Structure 1
């Protein structure tokens, strides 16, 4: 089976803020269609800059951004095409919400595309349903809880029907139940064909959720299968991250002869419990989780 092609890619990208040093330089980065990608790294290594380059919020000083191999142009037509392909949801929903009600906020992007009223309504209803906030359609945004504001911000991006959804620390500030509900929502979006990129500091979440992990370090970005990439202690040290507990658990299981070298380790508590109950049982491969 062939590897998914790069839907969105940066090639030789460099960026520096005014009067500052390069934040990113000579960066090659791929977002492959149909994959869940976790982006990790210490503060100041350029995660936010990278996400804004991918979504068109920033333009690389050098290099290029491509969509399906075609270079993005930064005129109105080119940016409209990009933003119907890639949507970025920032970490703080209050930086993204501004309309009086939930439905009005979610409708903003589709209205700016010049879509007919019926199409706008359909997209808003679809996005609200996808984020499980349909009952909140007429709720004033200033009366929403933090978790509801996060979902509304994501719904606004989903209403654009992007092929790539980029989320900056989407689980930050959510309680455990809110995190689980959001992850279930993201699973639903992926099942409907949306490629999801998540920036996070939570290595355990990345191991559990992602097919691929990209570690942004001072030596560059290192991307590969989540299981193997997040077991690289050298890269984790460079990225200012600790070893995921699932990787540590796999090492302990192997040390006690309960897990073969070629068998993937557990990614969450349920998979660890399965190992404890039946050591021969192996968790499903990446991309085939229920």
Structure 2
């Protein structure tokens, strides 16, 4: 690789106090500008990996690097890291604590020592990006679950990170809420944010991600999402099933409706287009 990874773990091992080793000798890199899905069974180490990337945990061995430079775990080093990487946990109630939406979103920028004008600008920008500007003065305890999810993400976005890590961001959302969140993530990516999403949903990963990282007992296996998520051996090791889009593509090719070099459908709409025209959805 000619450019160092934006964020990377090199030879990292970690175990919780009096517990078994969760990650051992792990190498994991987040390339800039890619949508990365992180998948694995419960207990595989996804949450630990995300917390190591964001500085919430410190590796016992190995190191975390940002653009090839090792992270120091003093105040200056962690501040630098948290302006580069932000983690949004699965349950927004674990992250929200201020009285109103705007106050909660302003917490991170205020801790950076920014001017009041800059904080206000960042809060407004984040609320607009998450489509919750109208909720700025709403008490957080009166928000719906989807609104709380968006507020938690807005708090991370207000830090203007280069990498946004999301733990099961679509969990608990209805279909409309999921679609709106995915559209928001696409808009953030268009602005230059690299997004990492941990999920159990292989269909979502196939549809959304450029790359997929599967956590298996023998280590992490990363590759282009359509390729990695078609590896039945890796899926079995990771405790995951085959995405329906991969299975549909195999059936379409067997029926002569999809060329070998044509990407398979990732959504129901793409599947309908293939079966209607006999041509691939993305040339």
Instruction: Quickly name the TM-score band, shorter chain normalised.
Output: over 0.9
User: Aligned ranges for residues 1-290 of structure 1 at < 5 Å?
Assistant: 5-283=4-282
Query: Structure 2 CA distance, aligned partners of 1:7 and 1:166?
Result: 13
By how many angstroms is 1:274 displaced? 1.4
Matched with 1:287 is: none
Which consecutive segments of 4 or more residues in structure 1 shift more than 6 A? Answer: none
What secondary structure is seen at the aligned counterpart in 2 of 1:162? coil
Q: What are the superposed Cα offsets for residues 68-117 of structure 1, whole Å, 9 maximum, x if unpaired? A: 00000000000000000000000000000000000000000000000000
By how many angstroms is 1:4 displaced? 6.8
Change in 2 beyond 3 A, CA 1:79/1:30: same
Q: What are the superposed Cα offsets for residues 5-53 of structure 1, whole Å, 9 maximum, x if unpaired? A: 5100000000000011110000000100000000000000100000000
Under a length normalisation based on structure 2, what TM-score does the superposition of the two structures give? 0.98
By how many angstroms is 1:3 displaced? 7.8
Q: Is the 8 Å Cα contact of residues 15 and 23 (structure 1) preserved in structure 2?
A: yes
Query: Structure 2 CA distance, aligned partners of 1:279 and 1:33?
Result: 35
What secondary structure is seen at the aligned counterpart in 1 of 2:53? helix
Unpaired runs of 5+ in structure 2? none
* Aligned residue-pair number: 283
Matched with 1:288 is: none
By how many angstroms is 1:269 displaced? 1.0
Q: RMSD of aligned C-alpha atoms? A: 1.1
Change in 2 beyond 3 A, CA 1:198/1:281: same
By how many angstroms is 1:273 displaced? 1.3
Deviates more, 1:267-276 or 1:151-160: 267-276
Query: Structure 2 CA distance, aligned partners of 1:276 and 1:122?
Result: 48
Query: Structure 2 CA distance, aligned partners of 1:152 and 1:280?
Result: 41
